[in-house]
Amino acid sequence: MLEQLKGLRAQALEELNKVGNPRELELWRVRYLGKKSNLTQILRSLAALPLEERREVGAQANEIKKALESSLEEKGRLLQESILTSPRESQRVDITLPGRALPTGRLHPTTQILKEICDIFKNMGFQVIEGPDVEWDYYNFEALNIPQHHPARDMFATFWIDTGMGEKARLLRTHSSPMQIRLMEKERPPIRAIVPGRVYRYEATDATHESMFYQVEGLAVDKGITLADLKGTLFDFCRCLFGEERRVRFRCDYFPFVEPGVEVAISCLACNGTGCRLCGHSGWIEILGAGMVHPDVLTRVDINPKLYSGFAFGMGVERIAMLRYGIDDIRLFYSNDLRFLRQF
């Protein structure tokens, strides 16, 4: 029996060496330490042995049992450690594989051109501020010399906001010019600021008209500001954005809140001024309206027009982006077509 015990120990330890996972370890435990294992059978049969043999075999069997139990415990600990530290085959990372390119986001063409426009004016000393999209009739029209029933209201087809009280007082701003009033109400000259933001018009869309688009308003008020300052500022701006080659047209226009009023157009990029669908066969694309701030507007915000004068302008941002990037339809900007957006 002593020989059998020796062999059993050697075999058990040899097999334990080959165990590679917790499942195999459990099978090993049942085989060598379980109720039906040879070792347990030997321990149970001790009572039937003569006293001398019982002592010797009993001591030996118990020693082997203890040794196998501690080997089992040690092996369990080692297996657990290796599971935690070495990833399974399926989880292993092949560091020799080339990396997968992640799709990167990019700025919308409107955002890109807005940033460029703001940078040009910041370099000229203009501060950048923002204002509300939902506006009062007073700021959008009244304070800009466009009272109720003034025909100029037809220039700005308006989205009115239903206040539930039946009156037309709140609206989605139709242009960025209301910010001229808000600015001059708060600040005293010298003022030099631009205001980028969304504006809304209730009108049919076509290649150069959207119902929601961006404008950048500009305002400069100080002593001695003249139309020459306005012209110089806008020509400089056009040169910075479009380069020396592009032709710039500066001619009279009418806006009730400026006197005199002007509009600036750029020679069409698609046809180079010969006339096409994009420019309505005129060869020019209008990018902004401007003028000298009307004395009545200055008076309304308590700025003395005898002492101060100023210029203002409002430019269409998408129209500028169209000229800059050669886009021939403004409706592409907000149709969320990734094939279009990925080009910028």
178 near ligand FA5 (CB under 6 A)? no
State residue 339 phi and psi, 5-degree precision. -60, -35
Closer by beta carbon to ligand FA5, 37 or else 309: 309
Residue with Cβ nearer ligand FA5 (16 or 315): 315
CB nearer to ligand FA5: give 261 or 273. 261
110 binds ligand FA5 (CB under 6 A): no
Q: Of these, 117, 143, 220, 312, which contacts ligand FA5 (CB under 6 A)?
A: 312
> Binding marks (x or -) toward ligand FA5, 187..226, rule CB under 6 A?
--------------x-x-----xx--x-x-----------
Q: Of 39 and 146, which CB lies nearer to ligand FA5 in the complex structure?
A: 146
Say whether residue 135 binds ligand FA5 (CB under 6 A).
no
Residue type, 228: A
Q: Does 126 participate in binding ligand FA5 (rule CB under 6 A)?
A: no
Handedness of CA 87, 90, 93, 94 (dihedral sign): positive
Beta bridge partner(s), residue 292? 311
Count other C-beta atoms under 10 Å from residue 35's C-beta.
8
* Closer residue to ligand FA5, CB minimum distance, 29 or 319: 319
Choosing from 255, 284, 308, 333, the residue that interacts with ligand FA5 (CB under 6 A) is 255
* Minimum distance of ligand FA5 from residue 166's CB (angstroms): 28
- Pick between residue 68 and residue 135 the one whose CB is nearest to ligand FA5: 135
φ/ψ of 196, rounded to 5, equals: -85, 145
Percent of the chain as helix, strand, coil, to the nearest 5: 45, 20, 35
Alpha helices by DSSP H, listed for 86-197, are 109-123, 137-140, 178-186
In terms of CB distance, is 57 or 181 closer to ligand FA5? 181
What part of residues 2-31 is at the interface with ligand FA5 (CB under 6 A)? none
Q: Least distance (Å) from ligand FA5 to the CB of residue 300?
A: 15
| Closest residue to bound ligand FA5 by CB | 316
Query: Distance between CA 77 and CA 64 in Å, rounded?
Result: 20
| β-bridge mates for residue 288, sequence order | 264, 315
- Comparing CA positions, the residue from 77, 67, 50 lying closest to residue 8 is 67
Q: Which of 117, 269, 316, 327 binds ligand FA5 (CB under 6 A)?
A: 316
Distances 299 to 184, 210, 282, 303 between C-alpha atoms, Å: 10, 34, 39, 5
Q: Is 158 in the site for ligand FA5 (CB under 6 A)?
A: no
Contact 193, 146 (CB under 8 A): no
Question: How many residues in the shown chain lie near ligand FA5 by CB under 6 A?
Answer: 25
Q: In the complex with ligand FA5, which residue's Cβ is closer, 196 or 316?
A: 316
- With binding defined as CB under 6 A, does residue 287 bind ligand FA5? yes
Quickly list DSSP for 37-78. Answer: SHHHHHHHGGGGS-HHHHHHHHHHHHHHHHHHHHHHHHHHHH
Specify the residue, 42 or 330, whose C-beta has the smaller distance to ligand FA5.
Answer: 330
Answer whether the bond into residue 109 is a cis peptide, omega within 30°: no
Q: Does 292 bind ligand FA5 (CB under 6 A)?
A: no
Q: Taking CA 305 as the corner, what is the angle to CA 300 and CA 311, rounded to the nearest 5 degrees?
A: 90
Window contacting ligand FA5 (CB under 6 A); options: 84-92, 269-277, 314-322, 334-342 = 314-322
- Strand 191-200: give its sheet, edge to edge: 127-128, 191-200, 212-222, 309-316, 284-293, 258-267, 248-253
Interaction between residue 266 and ligand FA5 (CB under 6 A): no
* Interface positions with ligand FA5 (CB under 6 A): 175, 177, 201, 203, 209-210, 213, 215, 255, 258, 261, 286-291, 312-316, 318-319, 330
